[in-house]
Chains A and B, each alone.
Chain A
Amino acid sequence: MRRLFSFVLVISLFIPALVHAASLTAATKEFVLENGMKVLIVEDHKAPLATFQIWYRVGSRNEPVGKTGMSHLLEHMMFKGTPAYGSKQFSTIIQRNGGTDNAFTTKEHTTYFQSLASDRIGISIELEADRMRNLLLDPKEVIAERNVVMEERRMRYEDDPQNLLYEELIATAFTAHPYRWPVIGWMSDIASIEREHLADYYRRYYSPGNAVIVIAGDVYPEKILPLIEKHFGSIPPVENKLHAVPTREPQQQAEKRIYLRKETAELPYILIGYHVPPFPHEDNYALDVLSTVLSGGKSSRLYRSLVYEKRMAISAFADYSSFYRDPFLFILGANAAPGQDIEEIEKALYQEMNGIIKEPPSEREIQKAKNQIEASFVFAQDSNYSKAMNTGMFEMLGGWRLMDTYLEGIRKVTAAEVQAVARKYFGAANKTVGILLPAKSGKPEKKDKE
């Protein structure tokens, strides 16, 4: 049964924070409940819709050895009921109200979200507060859901050669940091997770002080905050001291290289990972611009060279997200075109990077990359979900106001800075190379044009 009757109104429930002037965050307001729970509200009255998200600061980085995948399995279990609302009632109620709901887990955090008509957002508030506090974790349901996650792992990794290469690349690139294991977990670890492991983990991490609510859409703080206070305000703070990951990934000493041969692979595929610092490091902005210069569309350097001119790849890309709390990777990659040699492709990727190391990109390239990054933030403003996502992501990294800092940082990047980060991070000893080869041939195919 629900027990929120004992709700007592607390004076000074919410501490409004400073508002940032005209910016992407101009419509964002911050409040903090007495139990330490932060609430971010992004008003947008364009349509009677809203997105509710709750972000927990827990992800695969927090898992103990032997229990990888626990954050993600717990995310699944959050849909399996409380005493008040039975298994899957959460989604049933949301859908009955015309909403959709889902959740995702990353290396850093676990996020639950619903999109609804804005006058139904109270449903999210009540249901999320309930499952923050009262999760059942029925042992039978744990076993069934473990099987579901194992099927998910088979689908996403075991039977997908490119994803498997990515998983192997990460596991090779990191020696000490828990980033080296996959969010979904290793198969044997998933199989070994029992109810009590999940219950301990839940108690430790699912608490008001370790969570942030983000609501974007047609809501008014003065109407929505009392509801939040009513349902979340009575949840006591957890005294548990959350431990940060103490491990610092040691500096890589030499190039690492793996080959994955799969019968189900059709074309060779390469990923090259370089260790880079996390946000907000001063180099992030230049790395972001570099990534866009290399891979922002068909006019970017990698497409132009490997796909268009040399016709050796069907895709070529840079993948860089600075949204990690500890140093993660800047990844270069490509899909070989049929009949093309993956080692030649690898050389061509280095050639592009070396081009920037030797000579800074043109002013126009830099300006184009900045335009692309900035426009993507403007386009994202049309969707409540995207706005809540951006707000939540920056909050996880250290504060939602960093969204403005971030764009200011991007605007200041110079061509010389892009060249400087290319020099600094893209050396041979800092890289891990992963190559997927079709097992049918056993080695790279010889060139034979049809």
Chain B
Amino acid sequence: MNRSFTCLRYMVFLLLMPALIFTPVVGGTSHAFSLDVDKRVAPNGLPVLQVERHNIPVVMVTLLVKASPLSEPADKAGVAYLTSKMLTEGTAKRSAAKISEDIEFLGASLDASTTHDFTTISLSVLKKDVDKGFELFSDILLNPVFREDELNRKKALITGALRQREEDPAFVAGRAFIKEVFGAHAYGRLVEGSIESVGRIQRDDVLDFYRANYCPDNAILSVVGDLTPQELNALVGKYLAGPSGWKRTCPAPQKVSGNGNAGTAPSMMPFAPAGLRIVPIDRDISQANIVLGHLGIARSDPDYYAVQVMNYILGGGGFASRLMRVVRDERGLTYGINSSFIGNKEPGQFEVEVQTKSASAGAVIDEIVRQMEQIRTGEVTDQELSDAKAYLTGSFPRRFETSRRIADFLAAARFYNLGDDYIQKYPDYIESVTKEDVQRVAKKFLHPDRYVLVVVGNQKQVELPQPQPPQEVR
């Protein structure tokens, strides 16, 4: 580590240092980026994705299981989430207490979480403890016992947390919003379920859900870190795919609950009928918590990338977005405003979220609708388009900085069928978007005349705008 460079070398460097720091970078990432992904299928049918990284002695494991609210009965909403949380609460040979004691003694972590589309079980462990980590990981995955008393404990914790979150007006607004947008569809409820639906879940429901969804052919294993393919193969063979390993096969995926048309309609229908729907929720607070939006787009829609570019300009681009510039920087009406299209397996939502003092609610809502109109009817500027593309392509490699992020990405990319060449192709997907595309997708996917508006706040002080189209107030 020789740092005894001389002053002369500085001078040389200074003379050579070109003053080109701000050279425009529109047109691609600064580095061609790729990941060397080792792909295989374990003998039990479990797809395995691996990236070797030896920068630090850690191993990150992500097991994605195709188990989510999409595959649970609506009256047992929350069973997917509850099942995943029960994995670490007792196995045939370990009590709940023993599991947490064993994993925490390693300074490691082993957690399950569920999104609207899938469940992930994540292990983060030091290299020196990787064998023990895999043993624990396979134990909770293969041998959970779902003890009745542990189930009741977990249900009480989940319902207690749901109750506590009622304190958070943004949570209340978001929950009301998805309910209004998606109705009976699984995306219309919380992943955790409701206090009522969790109360209805019995041990058999959890067991049934586990048996129907937790199988090697219904999962994706992704491992990133300080491990060679040989080492990983040995671990997978020993703990997951060996003679006493994970062998079950799952029945064919069940049809989505709640709505027979799910997955077929990237339009407003059948989830949300036309017209404005305003949902005011009264709370004694100082701000109006606003969510405005409607049905959006699926991850697999060919317009997904054009929509991401358009949304960056509208409200997804942080301080570079139009909404942030106007509502925060010019008018000082909020700390933060953003818009997003949730690209799920089935069409997710488009939503604008913002908080503002009660008296400004109307002004902010007017501005959001005006900006939605504007991006539909007027062209975006060359600068806006090139800025959006430069950010989306230039920030892409940062998504792969840590082993944890790579492991999660690999599993999700396989789940959403993004293709093995996704990383190489991503810049082209973004670069090929034109101004016309932006306007086209704005017209197609933004509906300033038929949105859901949720306002959680002091309804006596909130002044809502007087919209021109007829409204249906609930």
Bound CA span A300–B104, Å = 9
Assuming the A-B contacts A95-B318, A161-B167, A225-B10, are A155 and B156 also in contact, with contact meaning beta carbons closer than 8 angstroms in the complex?
A: no
Stretch at the interface among A118-126, A202-210, A353-361, A417-425: A118-126
CB distance A383 to B401 under 8 Å? yes
Chain B residue nearest to A335 in the complex (CB): B164
Q: Is A326 an interface residue (CB 8 A)?
A: no
B residues 361-389 touching A (CB-CB < 8 Å)? 386-387
Which B residues are CB-close (under 8 A) to A314? 157, 160-161, 164
Kindly name the residue among B107, B124, B320, B386 whose own CB sees the greatest number of chain A CB atoms within 10 A.
B107
Q: Is A98 an interface residue (CB 8 A)?
A: yes
Assuming the A-B contacts A13-B7, A95-B387, A308-B97, are A296 and B104 also in contact, with contact meaning beta carbons closer than 8 angstroms in the complex?
A: yes
Q: Is B153 an interface residue (CB 8 A)?
A: yes
CB distance A155 to B287 under 8 Å? yes
Which B residues are CB-close (under 8 A) to A92? 319-320, 387
Bound CA span A9–B393, Å = 37
Bound CA span A115–B334, Å = 25
CB distance B13 to A223 under 8 Å? yes
Which B residues are CB-close (under 8 A) to A11? 7
Stretch at the interface among A144-152, A237-245, A282-290, A391-399: A144-152
CB distance B167 to A265 under 8 Å? yes
Taken residue by residue from 98 to 123, chain B's Cβ proximity to chain A (1 for < 8 Å, 0 otherwise) reads as 00110111111100000000000000
Which B residues are CB-close (under 8 A) to A98? 25, 29-30, 390-391, 393-398
Taken residue by residue from 160 to 198, chain B's Cβ proximity to chain A (1 for < 8 Å, 0 otherwise) reads as 110110111100000000000000000000000000000
B residues 346-369 touching A (CB-CB < 8 Å)? 355-357
Bound CA span A92–B319, Å = 7
Assuming the A-B contacts A13-B10, A44-B55, A311-B153, are A151 and B320 also in contact, with contact meaning beta carbons closer than 8 angstroms in the complex?
A: no
Taken residue by residue from 278 to 319, chain B's Cβ proximity to chain A (1 for < 8 Å, 0 otherwise) reads as 000001111100000000000000000000000000000111
Stretch at the interface among B14-22, B74-82, B136-144, B232-240: B14-22
Chain A residue nearest to B168 in the complex (CB): A160
Which A residues are CB-close (under 8 A) to B387? 92, 95-96
CB distance A48 to B14 under 8 Å? no
Bound CA span A378–B400, Å = 18
Minimum Cβ distance to chain A for residue B7 (Å): 6
Which B residues are CB-close (under 8 A) to A88? 319, 325, 329
Chain B residue nearest to A385 in the complex (CB): B401
A49, A126, A265, A296: the one contacting B401 at CB < 8 Å is A49
Which A residues are CB-close (under 8 A) to B335? 148-149, 151-152, 155
A residues 151-172 touching B (CB-CB < 8 Å)? 151-152, 154-155, 158-162
Bound CA span A441–B153, Å = 25
Stretch at the interface among A53-61, A249-257, A343-351, A369-377: A369-377
Which B residues are CB-close (under 8 A) to A329? none
Taken residue by residue from 292 to 307, chain A's Cβ proximity to chain B (1 for < 8 Å, 0 otherwise) reads as 0000111110001001
Assuming the A-B contacts A92-B387, A95-B391, A98-B395, are A221 and B3 also in contact, with contact meaning beta carbons closer than 8 angstroms in the complex?
A: yes
Chain A residue nearest to B457 in the complex (CB): A159
CB distance A46 to B10 under 8 Å? no
Stretch at the interface among A63-71, A105-113, A193-201, A226-234: A226-234
Chain A residue nearest to B102 in the complex (CB): A299
Bound CA span A161–B164, Å = 11
Which A residues are CB-close (under 8 A) to B153? 308, 311
CB distance A338 to B287 under 8 Å? no
Q: Is A403 an interface residue (CB 8 A)?
A: no
Q: Is A35 an interface residue (CB 8 A)?
A: no
CB distance A91 to B10 under 8 Å? no
Kindly name the residue among B3, B29, B126 whose own CB sees the greatest number of chain A CB atoms within 10 A.
B3
A47, A97, A147, A150: the one contacting B400 at CB < 8 Å is A47
Which B residues are CB-close (under 8 A) to A155? 287, 335, 355
CB distance A307 to B157 under 8 Å? yes
Bound CA span A263–B284, Å = 7
Q: Is A179 an interface residue (CB 8 A)?
A: no
Which B residues are CB-close (under 8 A) to A338? 159-160, 163
Bound CA span A308–B99, Å = 14
Assuming the A-B contacts A151-B335, A152-B335, are A100 and B101 also in contact, with contact meaning beta carbons closer than 8 angstroms in the complex?
A: no
Q: Is B419 an interface residue (CB 8 A)?
A: no
Bound CA span A154–B3, Å = 50
Bound CA span A221–B401, Å = 21
CB distance B285 to A376 under 8 Å? no
CB distance B107 to A371 under 8 Å? yes
CB distance B168 to A96 under 8 Å? no
Bound CA span A382–B152, Å = 38
Which A residues are CB-close (under 8 A) to B386? 96
Chain B interface, number of residues (Cβ within 8 angstroms): 84
Q: Is A411 an interface residue (CB 8 A)?
A: no
Minimum Cβ distance to chain B for residue A137 (Å): 15
CB distance B105 to A371 under 8 Å? yes
Which A residues are CB-close (under 8 A) to B97? 299, 304, 308
Which B residues are CB-close (under 8 A) to A119? 30-31
Which A residues are CB-close (under 8 A) to B164? 266-267, 314, 335
Q: Is B61 an interface residue (CB 8 A)?
A: no
Chain B residue nearest to A340 in the complex (CB): B160
CB distance A48 to B287 under 8 Å? no
Q: Is A83 an interface residue (CB 8 A)?
A: no
Assuming the A-B contacts A49-B401, A266-B166, are A375 and B286 also in contact, with contact meaning beta carbons closer than 8 angstroms in the complex?
A: no
A46, A225, A300: the one contacting B55 at CB < 8 Å is A46
Bound CA span A92–B387, Å = 8
Q: Is B440 an interface residue (CB 8 A)?
A: no
Bound CA span A364–B105, Å = 8
Q: Is A367 an interface residue (CB 8 A)?
A: yes
CB distance B394 to A227 under 8 Å? no
Q: Is B330 an interface residue (CB 8 A)?
A: yes
Chain B residue nearest to A229 in the complex (CB): B10
Assuming the A-B contacts A307-B157, A378-B58, A383-B401, are A146 and B394 also in contact, with contact meaning beta carbons closer than 8 angstroms in the complex?
A: no
A144, A150, A161, A264: the one contacting B331 at CB < 8 Å is A144
Bound CA span A310–B91, Å = 22
B284, B318, B401, B403: the one contacting A264 at CB < 8 Å is B284
CB distance B1 to A19 under 8 Å? yes
Minimum Cβ distance to chain B for residue A40 (Å): 13
Q: Is A427 an interface residue (CB 8 A)?
A: no
Bound CA span A384–B400, Å = 12
Bound CA span A267–B400, Å = 40
Q: Is B404 an interface residue (CB 8 A)?
A: yes
Q: Is B56 an interface residue (CB 8 A)?
A: yes
CB distance B285 to A159 under 8 Å? yes
Which B residues are CB-close (under 8 A) to A264? 167, 169, 283-285
Chain A residue nearest to B328 in the complex (CB): A148
A residues 112-147 touching B (CB-CB < 8 Å)? 115, 117, 119-120, 122-123, 126, 143-147
Which A residues are CB-close (under 8 A) to B391? 95-96, 98
B9, B30, B325, B400: the one contacting A117 at CB < 8 Å is B30
Chain B residue nearest to A48 in the complex (CB): B31
Assuming the A-B contacts A11-B7, A95-B387, are A226 and B13 also in contact, with contact meaning beta carbons closer than 8 angstroms in the complex?
A: yes
Bound CA span A374–B169, Å = 37
Kindly list the 10 A-B residue pairs having the minimum CB-CB distance in the complex, ordered from nearest. A98-B394, A375-B107, A147-B332, A298-B100, A144-B332, A314-B160, A152-B335, A371-B107, A91-B319, A299-B100
Task: Given contacts A46-B53, A298-B104, A371-B105, list 20 more A-B pairs with CB under 8 A.
Answer: A29-B3, A87-B329, A96-B25, A96-B387, A98-B398, A117-B397, A143-B332, A144-B332, A148-B334, A150-B357, A151-B357, A154-B357, A222-B5, A223-B13, A226-B10, A264-B167, A267-B164, A299-B100, A308-B97, A383-B402
Q: What are 6 A-B contacts with C-beta separation under 8 Å?
A: A91-B318, A97-B394, A144-B332, A266-B164, A314-B157, A375-B108
- B residues neighboring A (CB under 8 Å): 1, 3-5, 7, 9-11, 13-14, 17, 21-22, 25, 29-31, 53, 55-58, 88, 96-97, 100-101, 103-109, 124, 126, 153, 156-157, 159-161, 163-164, 166-169, 283-287, 317-320, 325, 328-335, 355-357, 386-387, 390-391, 393-398, 400-404
